[in-house]
Amino acid sequence: MKIDKKHLLNYSIVIPYLVLSVIGLIVVYSTTSVTLIKYNLNPFNSVLNQGAFWVVSMLAITFIYRLKLNFLKNKRILSIALFIEVILLVIAKFFSEEINGANGWISLGPITFQPAEYLKLIMVWMLAFTFSRRQNDIEVYDYQALTRRRWYPRSLDDLKDWRVYSLIMVGLVVIQPDLGNAAIIVLTGIVMFAVSGVGYRWYVALMGTIAGISALFLGIIGTVGVKTMAHVPVFGYVAKRFSAFFNPFKDLTDSGLQLAHSYYAMSNGGWFGRGLGNSIEKNGYLPEATTDFVFSIVIEELGFIGAGLILALVFFLILRIMLVGIKAKNPFNSMMALGIGGMILMQVFVNVGGISGLIPSTGVTFPFLSQGGNSLLLLSVAIGIVLNIDANEKREEIYQEVTEEIHRSGTQEFKVIS
């Protein structure tokens, strides 16, 4: 009996991914063509660039799907990825040009990329690698198995300093400053911590600590005022965001400009929208209409019903990814899939929360719809890993079932093609 991996492809993940990617290309054209025409450029320039990244992304998914999962469990490969990521974050902060008040992009000729974007997936990878190798110790020592080395001397190849690595990399993202991606990384880390197997009391304590720190921070801003905080390095960037969060209409020419026009866009859209391509706010009124606030434009053009259907499809994809993690029997596979699902979920939460005023705006793109080839490529790589994990788990399950049947009936052996 032969099991070809291509027959194990999870179409409940592939089809939503393809649909969202196509919708993303349409949205990119809709939000960028007006500006390109204004400057006498080809209106298809941006969508062609996004399409090229999508082709590369599809090739990346195919390549990753055909790989054996052992490459993700190799400490040497992970260590190299962590080292390269730290170097890129340092270069982005100290040796790159400032864009929109932050130093987070690296330019290589016509190609620009944001190292913090890729850190989200690398952090999921690192935490899944570390936590999965300590499952037996977590069962006995709970949270302390993740913090005290002496209880598991046989796990000599673990990343014992995972907390140090995490703090260093998140810190490098914060000082760029890129609080949006930093928030996603921290929230995703909380998801990874929750599924690591530690007792719920430690998770509750962690959430309580974060809530306390957040309340203290808000209290300080409320006491000293946003204007005072604006003179503090790094926090000056944050202060503007909080100023808009408290009252976007107070300063419509600066800090409140984006959020106020985001409200206008959503109000214009109503239930059914103005029609695809008919947005008013994308005509120079709403900054970052193609990236951070693209979902506001989607609501304006397709209405709350159309945007809601797209959001429902995104949540369906996230749930299918998390279901792979829930069903997986291998701890690493389970945590990796749940972490990727959590990563996408947190990005949606931070983006939609920012454009709607539920949380301070953080400059985070909306998955699949925002212009940006790097974001699409990262998401595609993550999807490829989940598809590989799902196929591997299915193959192992079939292998086990058929092996048991062989032992019972004495039939001939079979071969599994990876």
Cβ–Cβ contacts within 10 Å for residue 116, how many? 27
Nearest CA to 299 out of 376, 198, 202, 369 is that of: 369
Q: Give the three-state DSSP class for 102.
A: strand
- The answer to whether 72 and 337 have CB atoms below 8 angstroms apart is no
Sorted by sequence, the CB contacts under 8 Å of residue 25 that are 6+ apart come out as: 47, 50, 51, 54
Q: Residue 410 has which token pair?
A: 């004495």
At CA 116, angle to CA 11 and CA 252, rounded to 5? 100
Q: What is the pTM of this model?
A: 0.86
Q: Where are the beta strands (DSSP E) in 106-196?
A: 106-108, 111-113
Q: Tell me what pLDDT residue 159 has.
A: 46
At CA 55, angle to CA 107 and CA 347, rounded to 5? 65
Q: Give the three-state DSSP class for 176.
A: coil
Q: Residue 147 has which token pair?
A: 């913090």
Distances (CA, A) of 13 to 300, 315, 369: 28, 11, 17
- The answer to whether 93 and 175 have CB atoms below 8 angstroms apart is yes
- β-strand partners of 111: 108
- The answer to whether 176 and 103 have CB atoms below 8 angstroms apart is yes
What does the pLDDT look like over 330-356, one tens digit per residue? 999 999 999 999 999 999 999 998 888
- The answer to whether 261 and 285 have CB atoms below 8 angstroms apart is yes
Cα distance between residue 83 and residue 128, in whole Å: 17
Cα distance between residue 258 and residue 224, in whole Å: 24
Nearest CA to 265 out of 291, 302, 306 is that of: 302
Q: Which segments in the chain show pLDDT lower than 70? A: 1-3, 100-101, 136-161, 199, 202-203, 218, 221-222, 224-246, 251-255, 410-418
- The answer to whether 81 and 401 have CB atoms below 8 angstroms apart is no
**Cis upstream peptide for 177 (omega within 30°):** yes
The pair phi, psi for residue 95, each rounded to 5°, is -130, 25
Sorted by sequence, the CB contacts under 8 Å of residue 195 that are 6+ apart come out as: 325, 334, 335, 338, 339
Nearest CA to 269 out of 301, 293, 292 is that of: 301
CA distance between the termini of the chain: 13
What does the pLDDT look like over 218-276, one tens digit per residue? 677 667 666 665 566 555 566 666 666 667 777 666 667 788 888 888 998 889 989 88
Q: Please, where are the H alpha helices in 225-290?
A: 226-229, 235-246, 257-269
CA 245 to chain centre: 23
Residue with tokens 């911590």: 193
Q: Tell me what pLDDT residue 222 has.
A: 65
- The answer to whether 247 and 257 have CB atoms below 8 angstroms apart is no
Distances (CA, A) of 21 to 55, 340, 357, 367, 385: 11, 18, 26, 9, 17
Q: Residue 371 has which token pair?
A: 């212009």
- β-strand partners of 3: 416
Residue with tokens 């649909």: 19
Cα distance between residue 62 and residue 70, in whole Å: 17
